[in-house]
Structure formats: C-alpha cells, structure tokens
Structure 1
Amino acid sequence: MDSLRKTALIAGVFYLITFVSIPTLAMYGPVLAPDYILGSGPDTAVFFAGVLEMIVALACIGTAVALYPVLKRQNEGVALGFVGVRVLEAATIFAGVAPLLTIVTLRQAGAGADALVTGQALVALHNWTFLLGQGLLPALNALLLGSLLYKSRLVPRILPLLGFIGAPLLVASAAATLFGSWGQVSALSAIAALPVALWEFSLGVYLVVKGFKPSPITAAPAHRDSAV
C-alpha cells in the first residue's frame, strides 16, 4: 500500500468515526430537560455521550490533518483554511460538551432549586454552541474541501456536489433556527442537514474502499534547479 492510499484510508476512517455521535441526540435528551439538575438517577448516558462527542472532535481534526498534504498541492491557502475551520469545529464540540457535564456535576453535588437557572443557562450555552459550531462550520468545510476535490477530481465529482448542495441548506436551516422559524431539533432541520451528512459519509466510504482517483496533483511537485 503506497503512502497516498494510506492517506486516503486514514482520512476515510476518520470521516466514518465522526458518525459515532449519532446516538448522542437521544442520550442527551434527559440532561436538556429544564429540571434535570434537580432530579436523581444515573448519569452514565450523558457521560458516554460526551465521550462520543469528544471522539468526534478529535476525528474532525484527524480528517483535516490527514488530507492536508494532498490538498495543499491543489491550493495551499484553501487547504489551510479547511484545516483551520475543521479545528474550530472540533473546538466548538468540546465547548458544547463542557456545559452538559457541568450540569451533571451540579446534580451529583445535590444542587438545589437555586441552581435551576444555572442549569438552564448551561443548556442554552450548549444549544447555541451546537448551532453556531456544528450548524454553520460543516457548511464551510463542505465548500472548502468540496472545491478542492471537485477541481482535482481526486474523487467522483458527484461527492463534492452533495456538499455544495448541502452547504446552503445547512446555513439556511441554522438561520431559520436562529430567528425562531423552527426548532433546533426538528424534522426540517434534520432534512436540511442530510445532504452534508451524506456527503461526509459517502466521502469516508469512498476513501476507505477506493482511495484517491489518479490526478495530476497527487504527484509531488517537481523541483527545478535555480539558475545561478
């Protein structure tokens, strides 16, 4: 297996790992309730969901770092922008996990009714972090990475086209949620997020199974002797 095939395999595996967070929506359900901090019962699901999201955050960084050596041969500035946005997305995931784990800590410490407002504020912080981070940044990632892969033809062009279609839908959904047109967790928001999710999943599967297609940019740039 050559180094380029290994790069595609590693990047594809990282992309597929990002989908381990799918169960977290249900696992976070109880902690998002307004009076959760006053209740009792096991908190294992919330901690487990937090761990899954942290794994996703690290996998996000992994996708960008793995792809950068190949993408920079097409356009180093755009490739670097993709790495930066992907790292920022990972940071927002960590920032969104921390408030929910804080609620669990307060609950386990026996926080009383005085902590109810604090708990609601922490949930609101999580929701806004999720909306601004995981609602907007994946759209920008789709445009940056999609443009590089579309021009280079390293993967079939239908894959980045999914990202191009999904990016404006995701932004529109985030804007609609921001202005109260529909809830953050709703059928419409799920439908709007589907094309970008399909783009990332399809890309991960393709890179694992097929690897990169032959392309001029996969060859290392030639070194020219400078005239003296």
Structure 2
Amino acid sequence: MTARVVGSLFVIATASGVVSAATQGTTRGVMVFVMALAIAFIAPTWFPALKRHGEGMALGYVVARTLEVVFLMSAVAPIARLHVEELWGHASAIWFCAGVVLLNVLLFRSALVPRWISVWALAAVVPYLAGAVLVLLGVLTQTQAGALYVPLALNEMVLAFWLLTRGMSTPGADVREQGEPGLVEAH
C-alpha cells in the first residue's frame, strides 16, 4: 500500500509541476499548491520503510522535502510579489536535489527498488542541480535549463511506475509467498 501511495504522490507532484510551468496566474498557483501538497506527503509516507535502512538519512530526506515545500510555497505566496519568487523557487530546487540524493542513496542501499533506478537518479540529479544553479545565477533562463531537468523527471516517473506496478522489494521475503524473490506487490 505504501508503494502505491508514494508512486501516486510522485505522479501528482510531477504532473501538477508540469502544468504549473505551462500556466500563469491563479491556475499556476493552484498547481504549485497541489504539487507542494503531494511533495509534503511523499517523505513522511515513505519514512517508516526507509528508516529501517538508515534512520538519519531517512529523517534527512523528510527535512529536505519539507524545506523544498516551504521554499516552493514561499515562491507563490504574496511575498513573491516582492520579486523574490525566482530566488525562493530555486532554493526549493536545491532542497529537492538534496532530497533526491538522500532518497536514492537509501534506495540503493536497501534495494527497495532496482538499483539501476537509484543510480539513474543519482546521475540525473547532477544536471538538474547545475540547471537550477545556472538559472539562479542568471546564466540560463528557466526554459533554457529545461533540458537539464528532463532526465530526473523521467527517472521519477519510472520510479513512480515501478512503485505502482511492482511495489517495493523486501530483502529475504519468502519466495513462495511473494511469487518472485524479494518482491512485495503493490496491492
């Protein structure tokens, strides 16, 4: 059940983030709010499964995602009218990247999902972070940096699809009970 909830939250967060980037005004604000709400629930929902594989890192993941949401919501709050929207939005991206690293190190260590998904995320976070920093420094526009975000966005959708369809692995699970070594289905 946890796998399906987390997978669904990743899909909601990504879909609403894409819509928010393509819209403006009230619609953008609502989509950012929906995205932030989904993000806010990902880490605490996953925390019980992750903490067994590194409680400190799992807690760090919750903190990073919480800070991501705080900065994300600050970017669309009334303070954004004071021309700090971009600064807050990019600070959110930095915390997102910190969360990606913490989560995927935990996923790699635990093998809750195939390790290639974690390795992909850890590689894809590098161009994502570079894009966020380059936009923050004014070297690139958000549109120009967009291509740097694609590998990690695709990775998150693959992770979400995996969680929705295959669930999380449980090391040492009984093969007869699960049907396949170490897999817990996402029922």
Same-fold status (TM-score > 0.5): yes
2:84 corresponds to 1:125:
yes
Structure 2 equivalent of residue 202 of structure 1: 158
Alignment of 1:34-53 (within 5 A): 46-53=25-32
TM-fit CA distance, 1:146? 0.2
The one-letter amino acid of 1:133's match is: S
Structure 1: give runs of 5+ residues left out of the alignment. Answer: 1-5, 29-45, 103-120, 218-228
Equivalent-residue separation in structure 2 for 1:153 and 1:97 (angstroms): 37
Quick one: structure 1 residues 179 and 92, their matched pair in 2 at CA, closer, same or farther if it must change by over 3 Å? closer
C-alpha separation between the residues in 2 aligned to 1:91 and 1:64?
14
Query: Contact (CA 8 Å) 1:142, 1:160: kept in 2 or not?
Result: no
Instruction: Say whether the 8 Å CA contact 2:90–2:133 is kept in structure 1.
Output: no
Give the secondary-structure state (helix, strand or coil) at the position aligned to 2:84: helix
CA shift for structure 1 position 182: 1.5
Secondary structure of 1:23's match?
A: helix
Q: Give, as a single letter, the amino acid of the residue that structure 2 aligns with 1:126.
A: E
Q: Distance in 2 between matches of 1:123 and 1:16?
A: 31
Query: Aligned pair 1:8/2:3, yes or no?
Result: yes
Deviations 1:23-69 (A, max 9, x none): 222212xxxxxxxxxxxxxxxxx212211111111111211011100
2:168 aligned with 1:212 = yes
2:91 is equivalent to residue 145 of structure 1:
no
The residue that corresponds to 1:91 in the other structure is: 70
Higher relative contact order (CA 8 A, sep 6+): 1
Count of aligned pairs: 172
Contact 2:68–2:91 (CA under 8 A) maintained in structure 1: no
CA distance in 1, matches of 2:74, 2:2: 29
Q: Which among 10, 14, 21 is matched to residue 17 of structure 2?
A: 21
The equivalent of 2:42 in structure 1 is 63
- SS of corresponding position for 1:181: coil
> How high is the TM-score relative to the length of structure 1?
0.70
Q: What is the distance in 1 between the residues matched to 2:110 and 2:55?
A: 13
* 8 A contact 1:131–1:184 mirrored in 2: no
Q: For the residues of structure 2 that align with 1:14 and 1:54, how far apart are their CA atoms?
A: 13
Match of 1:106 in 2: none
Q: Is the 8 A contact 1:96 1:127 kept in 2?
A: yes
Instruction: Tell me, in whole angstroms, the C-alpha distance in 2 between the residues paired with 1:89 and 1:176.
Output: 18
How far did 1:193 drift? 0.9
Answer yes or no: is the 8 Å Cα contact 1:64–1:86 preserved in 2. yes
Output the TM-score relative to the length of structure 2: 0.85
Q: Shift of residue 199 of structure 1?
A: 1.8
Offset of residue 123 of structure 1? 6.6
Unaligned runs of 5+ in 2: 174-187
State the Cα deviation string for residues 159-213 of structure 1 (Å, max 9, x = none): 1112111212122222222333211232xx1111112211211111111111002
Q: Is the 8 A contact 2:121 2:152 kept in 1?
A: yes
